[in-house]
Amino acid sequence: MAASNLEGVLLGMGNPLLDISAVVDEAFLAKYDVKPNNAILAEDKHLPMYDELSSKDNVEYIAGGATQNSIRVAQWMLQTPGATSYMGCIGKDKYGEEMKSAAKAAGVTAHYYEDEAAPTGTCAVCVVGGERSLIANLSAANCYKSEHLKKPENWALVEKAKYIYIAGFFLTVSPESIQLVAEHAAANNKVFLMNLSAPFICEFFRDAQEKVLQYSDYIFGNETEARIFSKVRGWETENVEEIALKISQLPLASGKQKRIAVITQGADPVVVAEDGKVKTFPVILLPKEKLVDTNGAGDAFVGGFLSQLVQGKSIEDCVKAGCYAANVIIQQSGCTYPEKPDFN
């Protein structure tokens, strides 16, 4: 596909968060009542954690947020400036400025809504033995309004995009915005993609999730989220392949032809359910000593997958690219990557 056709082809909307990432110990997790390898929203008891992480010698600040990570990785894989765009809400502060320069450096066209009152959202990334736990303090990210989306210069990004990706986390912020773009995608024969994103989304935002999943041509998730999704619906199966199949067969909104479910399982094969069939694809195995941290692995997988999908490649190629991107990301700290991809 020629570079000119790729301009603005992929749009993401979500919660832009500045990752405050540090290696900690089990005692740190216990102190703040954090489970390993989970993703949660911050409660009052978690708030002192951000300063404590910031004071560590090994702390790193990385522009993050699930959707923004996926969009940055897709942009990196595509190597075509402006192929991707992104919307979300930040504060008017130094973290917000850092976010803007990071998006610009990544080649992403970012139209942030800047909130006057709330600080830019942050995400505590606690790394123990290479596994990450995420505690998101949404702050400004929680303030995104559909009014911003409806402004002509922002809606233009929606009009231009042929693929729209939104992580489930955004369901807690602006279901109205998601609905607007989901309906636009259905009416204009565009591809709309969602992510299950976290067990708590599947458990506590089921209605909002259900409403928008009917518009989703692709649903991504990992094995933990898939099992919770199944449990909440009383499907009485823990088998990831069966669950993927059931997800792919959930009801579709009018204008939608079929759905593909893509479930990752860490080092185990990726499960893809499509047209009543299930396929599995092996991931690229990484020796334990090369693992730096798993933060952003799932986001990177989606980014890699999207980079091929927008070019009309096969599902197999999409999964391959997803596995490649995830493999690169887990060898780096946070959702970061080398200058150029080495994927062919």
In sequence order, the β-bridge partners of residue 124 are 20, 135
Query: Choosing from 51, 275, 299, 317, which is the catalytic residue?
Result: 299
- Contact (CB, 8 A) for 104 and 30: no
Question: What's the alpha-carbon Rg for the chain, to the nearest Å?
Answer: 19
Distance between CA 132 and CA 295 in Å, rounded? Answer: 6
Catalogue the E-assigned strands of the chain.
Answer: 10-13, 17-23, 39-41, 60-64, 84-91, 109-115, 122-128, 131-137, 163-167, 191-195, 218-222, 260-265, 268-274, 277-281
Q: How open is the CA angle 66-248-258, to the nearest 5 degrees?
A: 100
Q: Is 299 a catalytic residue?
A: yes
Which 8-state DSSP code applies to residue 135? E
Which 8-state DSSP code applies to residue 288? G
Residues recognised as catalytic: 299
